[in-house]
Chains A and B, each alone.
Chain A
Amino acid sequence: MKKRFHFEPVEGKALDIIRVLIKDEAVVSCRKAFMALRLAIEELVTNVTLYAYPSGGGGYLDVEIEKDAACIVLRFIDGGIPFNPLERKLPDTTVPLKDRKEGGLGILFVIKKMDEMEYAYINQENVLTIKKKLTSED
């Protein structure tokens, strides 16, 4: 079963959007994977609300959630400027904390914890798909 959410406008709405998505039944039902999914949702939604629409105008974000016994798939679709988060330079986690710059840790964790991530720019939309395999503990 696939569910689709439509959020518009997104400007300044990150917390509201995150709250809706992390309460979705399919997401909540992933017990072991829940924190990784919640982190992915917070990270990707925040990115869209902060950076996708630099010239304002509200913007939109659609999120599709599909779950079966084997995995959960989330797809984030926005009409903002083309941005592939998978090409972002990741932080060097061996650098001592006192010399660390902020940023990039969220997306690093998402990349490590998701089983698949795919980005495409189609019909003027960013489409980012993440997939997490589920186990008997979920």
Chain B
Amino acid sequence: METKVYKMGDSFDSSNSEEIKDEIMALLEEGDANLIIDLSDCTYVSSAGLRVFLMTYKAAETKGVKTCLSGLNYDIKELMSVSGFDNFFVFYDTVEDAKEAIG
């Protein structure tokens, strides 16, 4: 199956989460492809971002494709862990690692 990569900018919060949600949902809608969300340039995720991760997870499940995250920094990993997202989303250090694992 094809794999698409969504590259996140430096922050994912209430100032841009609606826009990013639309972009990610469009990628999932385009066709049967797994989706890697790359956070290697991202230093900040707020609850508005978490909300979109949750929607992405549900949408991928419904479509029957895999989705995972790569390049999370320490703070974002901790946020994921406090939210209990780390038990369900798989994290990889780099996009290449993610591609190899889910591709």
Q: How far is the CA of A36 from the CA of B76 in the complex (A)?
A: 10
Interface size class of B (residues with CB under 8 A): 20 to 34
The answer, yes or no, to whether A94 is at the interface (CB within 8 Å) is: yes
Main secondary structure of the interface of B (DSSP, over half): helix
Task: Give the interface of A toward B (CB within 8 A).
Answer: 14-15, 18, 35-36, 38-39, 42-43, 46, 93-98, 100, 102-103, 105-109, 112-113
Residues of B within 8 A of A112 (CB): 82
Chain B, 33-78, CB within 8 A of any chain A CB: 43-44, 46-48, 50-51, 54-55, 57-58, 61, 75-76
Given known pairs A14-B14, A42-B13, the reply for A35 and B84 (CB within 8 Å) is no
CB distance from A94 to the nearest CB of B (A): 6
Given A94-B84, A109-B82, A109-B83, A100–B54 Cβ distance below 8 Å? yes
Q: How far apart are B64's CB and chain A's nearest CB, in angstroms?
A: 13
Let me know if A35 and B47 touch, CB within 8 A: no
Residue of B nearest to A108 (CB): B82
